[in-house]
Amino acid sequence: MQAMKRIDDEAIHDDGGRARVLLTELADNLWWCWGVDGAAIFRALDPERFEATGHDPHAVLAALSDAEAQARLEAAGLTTTLDEAVRALRTYLAGAGTWGRRHAGLLHHAPIAYFSAEFGLHESLPIYSGGLGVLAGDHLKSASDLGLPLIGVGLLYREGYFQQTLDDEGWQQQAYPALEPEAKGLRRVCAPDGSWLQVQVETQTGVLHAAVWEQAVGRVRLLLLDADVPENTPADRALTHRLYGGDERTRIRQELLLGVGGMRALDGLGVRPAALHLNEGHSAFAALEAMAQHVEREGMSLAEAREEVANRTLFTTHTPVPAGHDRFGPDLLVEHLLPLAQRLGLDAEGVLAFGRVRPECRDETFCMTVLAMKLAHRVNGVSFLHGRVSREMWASLYAEHPLHRIPIGHVTNGVHLPTFLAPRMARLLDASLPAGWRERQDEPEIWEPVLQIPDEAIHEVREGLKRDLVHHLRELAARQARGRGEAASVVRALEHAFEGDALLVGFARRFATYKRASLVLEDLEVLDALVNDPARPMRFVFAGKAHPRDEGGKRLLQKVFRASRDPRFLGKVVLLEGYDLSLGRALTRGVDVWLNNPRRPLEASGTSGQKAAMNGVLNCSILDGWWAEGFDGDNGFAIGRGEVHRDLKLQDARDQEELVRVLREEVAPLYYDRDASGLARGWLRRVKRAMATLGWRFNADRMVRDYAKGGYLPAAGVQLSEPR
Ligand SMILES: *Cc1c(COP(=O)(O)O)cnc(C)c1O
């Protein structure tokens, strides 16, 4: 009631400023991008600017005077919509009756601290590179929706990851546009005494300083540390400019800020977390800092502090790829960790031992994953299969356990449904599922009515989503080709890309080599037969970024680009620049089939296919990561049966063969088998089965609840009163 009154009060002294006040209130909390259709409001104010700035509401607002904002809002007929959105935001923030209130009440005084080097929340805040970040973003959003007291800790990258373009030879170019935190609506965090909070971290060679910013993510706060402050040397000011940029020294200093600085930021705010969740090893120094605080403040012995911290720490490992596990040489480590070691009563050797599988082995490099595993009693992989692979991978660290008893479990990843579910499909589900289904999205029964949706209704939604996507892709691809100065004929072909209702296959993810983006186009004759099949044509759309230093990944991109410019494939195989959350959402909503062909078992989970599934897109994937447990024989397509060959060439050749066979013999026939009314009944049946069998399992609410029930609450010493 109070919230409503405030809005009405603002209406009294209104000279156009009211619109801005409400628009800013909405824009300042990222809830606008999932809780309501905030994009519709901000886009209406200035469609071109909204697009050009990567959907940044603050950039739109900054370019408008109060009166202009008001006038455009009125012209778009959105005044009431805005009022309602702000009211809904205030109601949401008040947070009555959430799952967290009922089951995690004690955490309100001591939240979970969730550490991650990247957070993928929205395309306008480019502090993520791929799946790890998107997962962390989804984790915060679901924690917020569930009312689970949790606070995120990360780094503010003022140049983000990078903006991708391709030159006219298809070679990736990176640009690093500056991110101004104030202009993004981020706030400097204040200490309890009202001054700006700043943290210091000692090293052997000087002190690192960082400011702390805050982004509101629904009910959750995300703290972001920023080394670009005057107290730092010029070199250190650049420390947090780029995600995964710089050398090993930059990396360890970033991780020191994230872990140790992050713990100090929490401390400076008076937050005593009930548990720490380390999302990947990057932040593992946080656990050492927590130990040092116990030793100093409570007089614990090293062993006691270690036990105390390990009991309250969760560590999630995210990849079996060796390069994904940070290792640092002894010199770097001693330079950065000795002051912390001394607080623990350790010498250099003593602290180095924490990062080694065999503590006494002096030439073993310090590994952040090992550190995290030693300091967390709760360790998990991100799918059933990845749990097993991780137990094998780290068996030597748990030598006292037989393989099947190694204490590494799994919590399979999920995606934030309100972020990735298309509005068209959401409306159909709202009309078909029981009221309140979103709050119960992780219950299988809730999704069962999907099976009863008439084919016509699901067909219409799918067709609409594909139409929207194709329209968007044509514009995007043609604009990008023009930007590259390509021939008018190429641009024209792209303006008409994907003509007709051909089966549309999508592939978008980081261009890490193990993901094998180019597998389907290894043999262009074979691709020609698929794409230009007169009866059952197939179209492909690709997108993805290669890490700036990954030449192999860049070559894969170039290979796809070259195929897309082959006359046989022009306008039929399309590669788009600038894969980000926005393009990710669009693609996983609009294609017919989502292709995933990693080299098993290297895809720990993968999440883009989960986004596709909830939108009725069928997965066609190697049985790796989440799909190895999601596929049930009839809710998508499997490439192979999970075979693994020692010889990688052989593995790639077999998988390519099988991939092409599945596309030609299973996917295309089902898609093109139409009845008299033009409906692909068998296909639609499978679409419904995909949604009904996968929707409830692979969403982030289920994931966060799993972490809460199996990790956060036990770690915090809180007992869950009832199963839900
Ligand atoms: C979902 C998503 C990912 C993760 O997808 P994977 O299948 O795990 O590769 C990466 N990047 C973006 C932009 C995404 O939206």
Question: Can you tell me which residue has the tokens 């100090």?
Answer: 264
CA of 99 to the centre of ligand 1 (A): 28
Residue nearest to atom 9 of ligand 1 (CA): 509
CA of 703 to the centre of ligand 1 (A): 17
Nearest to 462 by CA among 691, 615, 681: 615
Return the structure tokens found at 374.
């030693």
pLDDT tens digits, 154-184: 999 999 999 999 999 999 999 999 999 999 9
Q: Give the nearest ligand 1 atom to 608 CA.
A: 7
Question: Can you tell me which residue has the tokens 């360890």?
Answer: 252
Considering the entire predicted model, what is its pTM? 0.97
Q: Which residue has the higher pLDDT, 107 or 452?
A: 452
CA of 357 to the centre of ligand 1 (A): 31
The confidence band for 322, taking pLDDT boundaries of 50, 70 and 90, is confident
Please give the pLDDT value at position 95.
Answer: 87
CA of 174 to the centre of ligand 1 (A): 19
Whether 352 has a pLDDT exceeding 60, the answer reads yes
CA of 213 to the centre of ligand 1 (A): 26
CA of 432 to the centre of ligand 1 (A): 29
Q: Give the nearest ligand 1 atom to 131 CA.
A: 4
Whether 368 has a pLDDT exceeding 50, the answer reads yes
SS3 assignment for 61-110: HHCCCHHHHHHHHHHCCCHHHHHHHHHHHHHHHHCCCCHHHHHCHHHHCC
Return the structure tokens found at 168.
């006219």
CA of 120 to the centre of ligand 1 (A): 10
Would you tell me how many other CB atoms lie within 10 Å of the CB of residue 563?
23
CA of 605 to the centre of ligand 1 (A): 11
pLDDT tens digits, 546-605: 999 999 999 999 999 999 999 999 999 999 999 999 999 999 999 999 999 999 999 999
Residue nearest to atom 8 of ligand 1 (CA): 606
Please give the pLDDT value at position 373.
Answer: 98
The confidence band for 504, taking pLDDT boundaries of 50, 70 and 90, is very high
d(CA 519, CA 542): 12
Buried b (16+ CB within 10 A) or exposed e, 285-295: bbbbbbbbbbb
Q: Give the nearest ligand 1 atom to 606 CA.
A: 8
Ligand 1 pocket at CB < 6 A: 130-131, 134, 509, 579-581, 584, 606-609, 611
Q: Mind listing the domains of the chain with CATH numbers?
A: 13-93 (no CATH), 99-410 (3.40.50.2000), 417-698 (3.40.50.2000)
Whether 723 has a pLDDT exceeding 80, the answer reads no
Residue nearest to atom 5 of ligand 1 (CA): 608
Please give the pLDDT value at position 16.
Answer: 73
CA of 132 to the centre of ligand 1 (A): 8
d(CA 147, CA 93): 9
The confidence band for 501, taking pLDDT boundaries of 50, 70 and 90, is confident
CA of 143 to the centre of ligand 1 (A): 20
Residue nearest to atom 3 of ligand 1 (CA): 131
Are 41 and 78 a contacting pair, CB within 8 Å?
A: yes
Residue nearest to atom 6 of ligand 1 (CA): 606
Please give the pLDDT value at position 2.
Answer: 42
Mean pLDDT of the chain: 95
Please give the pLDDT value at position 12.
Answer: 43
Q: Give the nearest ligand 1 atom to 584 CA.
A: 15
Question: To 10 degrees, what angle do helices 38-45 and 66-75 make?
Answer: 110
Q: Give the nearest ligand 1 atom to 605 CA.
A: 8
- Structure letter (DSSP) for residue 711: I
Alpha-carbon distances, residue 579 vs 38, 116, 129, 339 (angstroms): 22, 21, 10, 41
Mutating to test ligand 1, I would choose from 118, 127, 129, 134 the residue with most ligand atoms within 8 A of its C-beta, which is: 134
pLDDT tens digits, 19-65: 999 999 999 999 999 999 999 999 999 999 999 999 999 999 999 99
Residue 596's φ and ψ, nearest 5 degrees, are -145, 115
Question: To 10 degrees, what angle do helices 581-590 and 455-483 make?
Answer: 140
CA of 580 to the centre of ligand 1 (A): 8
Q: Give the nearest ligand 1 atom to 611 CA.
A: 1
Mutating to test ligand 1, I would choose from 122, 123, 509 the residue with most ligand atoms within 8 A of its C-beta, which is: 509
Contacts of 407 (CB under 8 A, 6+ apart): 377, 379, 398, 401
Please give the pLDDT value at position 4.
Answer: 44
CA of 509 to the centre of ligand 1 (A): 5
The confidence band for 5, taking pLDDT boundaries of 50, 70 and 90, is very low
d(CA 618, CA 67): 47
CA of 543 to the centre of ligand 1 (A): 11
Please give the pLDDT value at position 90.
Answer: 98
Please give the pLDDT value at position 14.
Answer: 59
Return the structure tokens found at 718.
């809180």
Whether 674 has a pLDDT exceeding 70, the answer reads yes
CA of 97 to the centre of ligand 1 (A): 32
The confidence band for 721, taking pLDDT boundaries of 50, 70 and 90, is low
The confidence band for 3, taking pLDDT boundaries of 50, 70 and 90, is very low
Alpha-carbon distances, residue 222 vs 93, 126, 155 (angstroms): 15, 14, 10
Mutating to test ligand 1, I would choose from 513, 608, 619, 699 the residue with most ligand atoms within 8 A of its C-beta, which is: 608
pLDDT tens digits, 431-443: 999 999 999 999 9
Please give the pLDDT value at position 7.
Answer: 52
Amino acid identity for residue 42 in this structure: F
Return the structure tokens found at 153.
């800790």
Percent of the chain exceeding pLDDT 70 equals 97
Please give the pLDDT value at position 96.
Answer: 85
Residue nearest to atom 4 of ligand 1 (CA): 131
Please give the pLDDT value at position 15.
Answer: 63
Amino acid identity for residue 519 in this structure: L
Percent of the chain exceeding pLDDT 90 equals 93
Please give the pLDDT value at position 108.
Answer: 87
Mutating to test ligand 1, I would choose from 243, 386, 412, 510 the residue with most ligand atoms within 8 A of its C-beta, which is: 510
Whether 210 has a pLDDT exceeding 60, the answer reads yes
Would you tell me how many other CB atoms lie within 10 Å of the CB of residue 102?
13
pLDDT tens digits, 91-117: 999 988 899 999 888 898 899 999 999
